[in-house]
Amino acid sequence: MSKNIKSWVAPQRKAAFVNLSSGQVEVRMIPDRIRELYLGGRGLGSYLLYNLVEPGIDPLGPENVLIISTGILTATPIPCPSRIHIGGKSPLTGLVGSSNMGGFFGPELRFAGFDALIIQGKASKPVYLWIHNGEIEIRDASHLWGRNPYETQTAIREELGDPEIRSMTIGVAGENLVKFSVALTGVKNAAGRTGMGALMGSKNLKAVAVRGSMPIEIADPEGALEFLKELADSSLKTKYAEILGRFGTLFLFDSLNSSGLLRTRNFQANQLPNSEEVECEGIEEYSSGMTACYGCFLHCRHKYVLKEGLGKGEYAEGPEFASVAAFSAELGNNRMQPALEATHLANKLGLDTIESGSMISWAIELQEKGLLPKELTRDLKLEWGNMDSVLTLVQDIAYRRGLGDVLAEGPKGAIKRLGPKTAHYNIQVKGMSCNVSDERAAPSLALGIATATRGADHLRSRCALDLYGLPVPVLEMIYGRKGMTSDYRDYQGKPWMVFSTENSKVVIDSLGICQYAGSGLSPNMAKGPEFSRMLEYITGIKLNDKELLEVGERVTTIERLFNIREGMSRKDDYLPERYYREPTPLGMPATRGRFIDRAKYEVMLDEYYEFHGWDSNGNPTPETLRRLSLDKEPSHLQGSESWPKS
């Protein structure tokens, strides 16, 4: 630690409560105690969600709240400090709505003077927010309605006369209340999961534009800069950083596909044959170099121009592994160009690429099984690898036409419209489609997607290190517990891995750091002790790594409380039935013929609940609520002086 560190907490930052119905704006200070309990970002957002959203409301009604919260360390001299959290009650699942994105919008919001925006009510016509150096305006956006996110960002910059303005905006999918529409900033940074674009659209909120030059006071600038250099130097020496800086996240495609852990043709296979073109080296034909989010030294995204088809000649960035896999393996497509084309099209329309690929692959399998009404499919040739039909259907989803209108409802709504026989083929948990991986051979990954609070998820509790075959002593050191196993197919020790990883990722999301800068994919990147030092150098708040993990527990538990209040219970923490009944047909010998053992899964789930301090139905016990300082939540409903007040 630097000798110059100060013992005081950096000055409180501000939260703005914006009521679109009345046009009123109220600015409140965020108390130190809330900072210590929840940090910022996801933690602060989840606390506000539980306190400000009444049980049982319509997610698309004016009673819902859109919460935009920066990490407590966003925009400061730490590794990759670009992240911002977008939350509300999910239009897709009816449970916790929670998404995270990088780019430059989050840092700019902090420079504009705000750590959080709480947007309530509904505007009578399309509007956008203009936030600049402590001031907030609600401006007419009628001329922006119908424009894609790129056009909207450009138009706002021209209208306000500043090319450095950063905007978060929705596309036509959000305007049409597609349940898995996104909020997007820059070229490809998206709050992509749980339908936050639909929440914005339901409020007639087209965009939030920010520009600022206000300082962020730092407790120990000298110590922070020294530590940043130390972390950057050590991180950039790793093989992980070298691979990420060359291929981006597409390197994950190669490893998952070669081993047989990649979801293919909906869920019929676990490996894409003849995949050379969509493997990570395939992007180099298109790439003109790498770029990054604010303050990032890893540079994980490619810059490229589409060579043909829809969007020919248009500039794009990325693509993320999950997007390419959603539009290749899941759809039986082994060509890079149409996968890039579909990804860029989804971004322009404002759609979640993961959910789009999953819903379309489900529709193709339903067509195979004779479960799609002919009047919905029209002249669409729903076949594996037919990307012309996929591109048409992506547009139909955004504009809610024909079959696209059904798929736009997401898993729950689409199953209701197409009938209960179709449910078996829909690969989802809690109403959100599973990611592009196939977890049948990896119990830790399976438990993680089943128990994640926002639905099937690869970013909340994915134990990627479990796949590396690390020696048991190393695993025990990483996870701080005996009883680990190096075999990812084993069930022993996996609940603790999920619990530990879950808490760590909450901390990362609440600090405002990119997960690629943490140890989720490499044990050589930053973890608990480093996070503690970052927090102290920047804010003066002293929490050791154990106390930070308790923040993770607290946030996961308050999200659990929100879901329970909306009717969720143990029954919602299970995998799709196919995980238990259909063995993997392909892959390496280690992954071939694998499925999740139902009895062993029950034991894992019990252990996971026990580690959290939840009862056998997944309800937090009174003792756990007291330990985590949650026994008086929601505090504002009990006449407390806690923040926020109702």
Q: What is the pLDDT of residues 501-539, one digit of tens each?
A: 999 999 999 999 999 999 999 999 999 999 999 999 999
Q: Sign (positive/negative) of CA torsion 191, 178, 456, 361?
A: negative
Higher pLDDT, 643 or 598: 598
How many CA atoms within 13 Å lie on the side-chain side of 548? 26
- Where does the pLDDT of residue 9 fall: very low under 50, low under 70, confident under 90, or very high at 90 and above? very low
Rounded Cα distance between 540 and 533, Å, is: 9
Dmax over Cα atoms in the chain, in whole Å?
Answer: 73
Tell me the H-state helices in 53-195.
105-111, 149-160, 172-175
Cα 396 from chain centroid (whole Å): 24
- Where does the pLDDT of residue 642 fall: very low under 50, low under 70, confident under 90, or very high at 90 and above? low
By the 10 Å C-beta count (0-12 exposed, 13-18 middle, 19+ buried), 237 is classed as exposed
**pLDDT for 21-58, tens place per residue?**
999 999 999 999 999 999 999 999 999 999 999 999 99
Does any domain span residue 7?
no
Do residues 78 and 182 both lie within one domain? yes
**pLDDT for 394-420, tens place per residue?**
999 999 999 999 999 999 999 999 999
Across the chain, mean pLDDT equals: 95
3-state secondary structure 562-607: HHHHCCCCHHHCCCCCHHHHCCCCCCCCCCCCCCCCHHHHHHHHHH
Q: Which range (3-17, 128-142, 280-294) has the least confidence?
A: 3-17
CA distance from start to end of the chain: 41
Total number of domains constituting the chain: 3
| DSSP single-letter state for residue 254 | H
The pLDDT score that the predictor gives to residue 2 is 34
Q: Specify the DSSP element, H or E, that contains 14.
A: strand 14-19
pLDDT at residue 452 is higher than 50: yes
CATH number of the domain that 158 lies in? 3.60.9.10
Q: In 184-213, which positions are buried (b, 16+ CB within 10 angstroms) versus exposed (e)?
A: bbbbbbbbbbbbbbbbbbbbbbbbbbbbbe
Let me know: does 180 contact 346? Beta carbons within 8 Å: no
Which long-range contacts link 63-67 to residues 24+ away (Cβ below 8 Å)? 64/88, 64/89, 64/199, 64/202, 65/89, 65/118, 65/119, 65/120, 66/117, 66/118, 66/119, 66/196, 66/199, 66/200, 66/203, 66/205, 67/116, 67/117, 67/118, 67/119
Do residues 140 and 45 both lie within one domain? yes
Do residues 151 and 133 both lie within one domain? yes
Q: Which residue's structure tokens are 């925009």? A: 75
Do residues 399 and 279 both lie within one domain? yes
Do residues 518 and 588 both lie within one domain? yes
Structure tokens given for 462: 């994915």
The pLDDT score that the predictor gives to residue 13 is 83
Does any domain span residue 636?
no
Pairing between strand 205-211 and 127-132? parallel
Let me know: does 28 contact 15? Beta carbons within 8 Å: yes
Does any domain span residue 221?
no
Let me know: does 502 contact 461? Beta carbons within 8 Å: yes
The pLDDT score that the predictor gives to residue 10 is 38
Rounded Cα distance between 259 and 42, Å, is: 33
Do residues 493 and 596 both lie within one domain? yes
- Where does the pLDDT of residue 317 fall: very low under 50, low under 70, confident under 90, or very high at 90 and above? very high
Let me know: does 106 contact 71? Beta carbons within 8 Å: yes
| DSSP single-letter state for residue 181 | B
Q: How far is CA 69 from CA 49, 208, 311, 476, in A?
A: 11, 13, 33, 34
User: What is the amino acid identity at position 117?
Assistant: L
Domain boundary among the residues 391, 406, 433 is at 433
Does any domain span residue 223?
no
User: What is the amino acid identity at position 233?
Assistant: D
Rounded Cα distance between 143 and 579, Å, is: 48
What percent of the chain lies above the pLDDT cut of 70?
Answer: 97
pLDDT at residue 101 is higher than 50: yes
In a 3-state reduction of DSSP, which class is residue 100? strand
Rounded Cα distance between 527 and 517, Å, is: 9
Do residues 67 and 95 both lie within one domain? yes
User: Who's near 194: CB < 8 A, 6+ residues apart?
Assistant: 90, 91, 92, 93, 96, 97, 98, 99, 180, 432, 454, 455
The pLDDT score that the predictor gives to residue 12 is 53
Rounded Cα distance between 231 and 240, Å, is: 14
Pick the closest to residue 598 from 575, 622, 569, 565 (CA basis). Answer: 575
The pLDDT score that the predictor gives to residue 552 is 98
Q: Which range (532-536, 578-582, 639-643) has the least confidence?
A: 639-643
Pairing between strand 287-291 and 301-305? antiparallel
Does any domain span residue 582?
yes
The pLDDT score that the predictor gives to residue 635 is 84
Let me know: does 502 contact 448? Beta carbons within 8 Å: yes
| DSSP single-letter state for residue 127 | E
User: What is the amino acid identity at position 112?
Assistant: A
Do residues 199 and 347 both lie within one domain? no
The pLDDT score that the predictor gives to residue 623 is 98
3-state secondary structure 540-560: CCCCCHHHHHHHHHHHHHHHH
Structure tokens given for 368: 């195979």
Helix axes 545-565, 528-539, angle to 10 degrees: 90
Let me know: does 99 contact 560? Beta carbons within 8 Å: no
pLDDT at residue 639 is higher than 80: no
User: Residues 634-644: what's their mean pLDDT?
Assistant: 61
CATH number of the domain that 495 lies in? 1.10.599.10
φ, ψ for residue 151, nearest 5 deg: -60, -40
pLDDT at residue 8 is higher than 60: no
In a 3-state reduction of DSSP, which class is residue 415? helix
Does any domain span residue 44?
yes
Q: Specify the DSSP element, H or E, that contains 418.
A: helix 410-418
Does any domain span residue 438?
no
**pLDDT for 219-278, tens place per residue?**
999 999 999 999 999 999 999 999 999 999 999 999 999 999 999 999 999 999 999 999
Do residues 173 and 60 both lie within one domain? yes
Do residues 396 and 451 both lie within one domain? no
Domain boundary among the residues 433, 465, 484 is at 433
**pLDDT for 583-624, tens place per residue?**
999 999 999 999 999 999 999 999 999 999 999 999 999 999
Rounded Cα distance between 122 and 204, Å, is: 6
Q: How far is CA 470 from CA 140, 384, 486, 488, in A?
A: 56, 37, 6, 10
Domain boundary among the residues 433, 455, 482 is at 433
Does any domain span residue 642?
no
User: Who's near 159: CB < 8 A, 6+ residues apart?
Assistant: none
Structure tokens given for 645: 């007040």
Could you list the residue range(s) of the whole structural domain that residue 356 is in? 262-433
In a 3-state reduction of DSSP, which class is residue 290? strand
**pLDDT for 533-563, tens place per residue?**
999 999 999 999 999 999 999 999 999 999 9
The pLDDT score that the predictor gives to residue 643 is 66
Do residues 303 and 204 both lie within one domain? no
By the 10 Å C-beta count (0-12 exposed, 13-18 middle, 19+ buried), 111 is classed as buried
User: Residues 340-348: what's their mean pLDDT?
Assistant: 98
The pLDDT score that the predictor gives to residue 332 is 98
Do residues 80 and 203 both lie within one domain? yes
